[in-house]
Chain A
Amino acid sequence: MAFHSNSISPPPSPLAPLPKGEGRNPFAPSALEKHKKIKETAAQWVLAAITLMLVVPVAAILGYLFVKALPVLSFSFLFDNPANRMTAGGIWAPLVGTFFLVLISLAAAAPIGILAGVYLNEYARDNWITRSINLAVMNLAGVPSIVHGLFGVGAFVLFAGMGRSLLAASCTLAVMTLPVIVTSTREALAAVPMSFREACWNMGATRWQTIRTIVLPNSISGILTGVILQVSRAAGETAPILFTGAVFFMPTPPHGWESFFPYGLDDYCMALSMHLFTLATQVRGVSDEYLYGTAVVLVGLVLVVNSASIVLRGYLRSRKKW
């Protein structure tokens, strides 16, 4: 204001020093603006601190686990069977058990989940059936894992007559992890542009031919990401296999070819998560390093698999041409 009312005097030369004092500089922030700026900066720092409060302790905990586990981490820890009432040796038998649980549950969940994703994205119309399927998928993901375990006992162990076995535990895990595959498959398919399908239909292809030759090949990596996520989820779960097939100890062949296939489909099996649980809570005289080692292998396994899925997704995004 001061500038304009004083228009008779010549404007100050740009080279002259700026006038001193409050109110002379028209660009100086007003009290309100200063207040807003302070508030904004404060909010930004508080929120940053909150985010740090989430990230730092967890990183510290993981680091602590790793440091405590360092004395036992070695190849023999991974490849030896547990010995001396679980207080010595390694974790080979539970590791193989987890591997087979994941493999069989994947074999069961992947086809059903991928086809369900195809149905939801390619066939389903927007009607009440589709809405209830979406709701069901969401609920399947939200049902507590122990209730999945109860379902496994009722359906697979008792009703289907599988007994407590590797197969029953894998089927329970498959049902539990189905939503992971369904949702990621649906997202991967939805990312394929509609024009690709339309072009294919215009060539006279049927719906299924289009899916088989255009939609699936163009979304395969996205589907793969979901499958990897399913693997990491299935590998870490304990509650669903607690009563459906995992046991604390199984005599397993120590060496040779058979040690890679220690469990039959109708046998009990050991699993890494179950192993950690019983070691920590029900066995006396286990040394701390041994416990931490088991925990680190489990969490390392899951994080490596998850990182693989993240890397794959990043690669996918960078390569995408539409």
Chain B
Amino acid sequence: MSNARTAVKTSNTRRPGVAWRVVLDRAEPLIEWIIRLCGWSAIFFVFAIFFFVFWEAVPALFGGVNLIEFFTSTRWQPSSEVRPEYGILALLVGTVSVTALAMAIAVPLGLGAAVFISEFCSGKLKEILKIVIELLAAIPSIVWGFVGYMVLGPIIIWATGAAVGVNLLNGGIILALMSVPIIVSVGEDALKAVPDSYREAALSLGASRWEIVYRVLFPAAKNGLLAAVLLGVGRAIGETMAVLMCTGHAVQIPHGLLDPICTLTATIASELGESVSGGMHYSVLFMIGLVLFLITFAVNLAADLVVKGVRNEQR
């Protein structure tokens, strides 16, 4: 009897008030509805985010801003008195270039670490590495930004002789470090999901561990690994504070690694405070938010579909 009680912990054993329990049981239909509403709330919030950002962007979206010019012009002069111009091409290029650089660093590192943790480690070391990666993911973006601004910037100036330490390279390195944990953890999950029978079959044919990794595991887990990379891309595109502090905030199309740039997220963060609420500049910033929302939505949807593909294959 005591055994059973320790195995299945119930809160019924010593309950002080019977009345309280009766109320909780009577209210079952109501409670079920509350639970259902909370479950649906996630959908509600996603729509609400879209709606409210869209609503504030309406003045710019319909009248005021020419959409073609918005996406193809590199001139971003929102606070000009005479003729303000809202072209986000330079910002888009800034976001894309810093994300691409970050991924060029983070994907090999992240997937390499995922393979090492999943296939070449065991026991204590594996546990420790997983915990370290998890703690890496927890470091707040503002702290990463601070590190890029105060520590990495001077190092870059010292190493390359660049005029300013906050630039594309700095932002790329910091973003890479920030998106590595998600690539490692999702990639490791993807490798873990490959059935052991695959590994055993390869072993029995005389494959070495490295051959198992790149002949068996990579093809078998390619969708999961792709999803890991996509989630890393999503994280890098949406990152705000670190990029704001590390990339130098110069609206221009970069010509080299050492040029300062400006991204979509950083523009919103730095300019919303100084724009007049309800004005055109303000509304255009919400429009950039809308663009960001749609980009990350597409990236996440792609990652989700890719993962779904894995599940269907395995069935």
**Stretch in A71-79, A148-156, A258-266 with 4+ CB within 8 Å of B:** A148-156
Which residue on B lies nearest to A120, using beta carbons? B39
Taken residue by residue from 266 to 277, chain B's Cβ proximity to chain A (1 for < 8 Å, 0 otherwise) reads as: 001100110000
Output the least CB separation between A115 and chain B (Å): 4
Q: How far apart sit A212 and B31, CA to CA, in the bound complex (Å)?
A: 11
B237 contacts partner chain A, Cβ-Cβ < 8 Å = yes
Q: Are B146 and A147 in contact (CB under 8 A)?
A: no
Interface size class of A (residues with CB under 8 A): 35 or more
Residues of chain B in range 41-60 having any CB-CB distance to chain A below 8 Å: 41-43, 45-46, 48-49, 52-53, 55-56
With a cutoff of 8 Å between Cβ atoms, the chain A residues found around residue B120 in the complex are: 44, 47-48
A150 near B286: Cβ-Cβ < 8 Å: yes
Residues of B within 8 A of A44 (CB): 116, 120, 209-210
Q: Which residue of B lies closest to A233 (CB)?
A: B138
Chain A interface, >50% SS class? helix
Closest to B50 in A: A151
Q: What 1/0 mask marks residues of chain A from 210 to 246 whose CB sits below 8 Å from any chain B CB?
A: 0011100110000000000000110111110011000
Chain A residue contacts of B286, Cβ below 8 A: 150, 154
Are A277 and B304 in contact, with the CB atoms below 8 A? no
B265 within 8 A of A: yes
Asked if A140 lies at the interface with its beta carbon under 8 angstroms from chain B, I say yes
Q: How many pairs, one residue from A and one from B, have CB atoms within 8 Å of each other in the complex?
A: 275
Q: Which of A5-13, A82-90, A249-257, A291-299 binds B?
A: A291-299
With a 10 A CB-CB cut-off, give which of B117, B140, B272 has the most chain A CB atoms: B140
Chain A CB within 8 A of B135 CB: yes
Map CB proximity to A onto B39-83 as digits: 1 under 8 Å, 0 otherwise.
111110110110011011000000000000000000000000000
Of A147, A149, A280, which is in contact with the most chain B CB atoms at under 10 Å from its CB?
Answer: A147
Contacts A50-B108, A54-B109, A138-B304 given; does A145 touch B240 at CB 8 Å: yes
Do residues B151 and A64 form an inter-chain contact, with CB atoms below 8 A? Answer: yes
A10 to B260, CA, bound (A): 81
For A286-321 the 0/1 string (1 means CB < 8 A from B) is: 001001100100110011001100100000000001
The CA of A116 and the CA of B210, in the complex, are separated in Å by 43
Say how far B270's CB is from chain A's closest CB, in angstroms. Answer: 9
A194 CB to nearest B CB, Å: 13
Which of B7, B25, B134, B147 has a CB less than 8 Å from the CB of A208? Answer: B25
Q: A306 — which chain B residues lie within 8 A by C-beta?
A: 134-135, 138
Residue contact B292 to A144, C-beta cutoff 8 Å: yes
Q: Mark B4-20, 1 if CB is under 8 A from A, else 0.
A: 00111111100000000
B139 engages A310 (CB within 8 Å)? no
Structural contact, A61 and B151, CB atoms closer than 8 A: yes
| Chain B residues positioned under 8 Å from A136 (CB to CB) | 42-43, 45-46
Set A65, A182, A298: member contacting B140, Cβ < 8 A? A298
B56→A150 contact, CB < 8 A: yes
- Taken residue by residue from 118 to 135, chain B's Cβ proximity to chain A (1 for < 8 Å, 0 otherwise) reads as 001000000001011111
Known pairs A53-B109, A239-B240, A280-B149; A115 contacts B38 (CB<8 A): yes
B150 within 8 A of A: yes
**B218 beta carbon closer than 8 Å to chain A:** no
Quick one: CB contact mask for B251-268 with A, threshold 8 Å, 1 for yes? 000000000000001001
Report Cα–Cα, A302/B139, bound state, in Å: 7
In the bound assembly, the distance between CA atoms of A148 and B265 in angstroms comes to: 11
Name 4 extra pairs, CB < 8 A, besides A51-B113, A135-B301, A175-B49: A39-B211, A47-B120, A54-B177, A239-B241
Q: Give me 16 A-to-B residue pairs in the complex whose CB atoms sit less than 8 angstroms apart, sorted by A's number.
A: A39-B210, A47-B120, A50-B113, A54-B177, A64-B151, A138-B304, A144-B238, A144-B265, A144-B296, A147-B49, A208-B28, A217-B9, A236-B141, A295-B146, A302-B139, A321-B6
The 5 closest A-B pairs by CB, nearest first: A236-B140, A119-B39, A144-B238, A154-B52, A115-B38
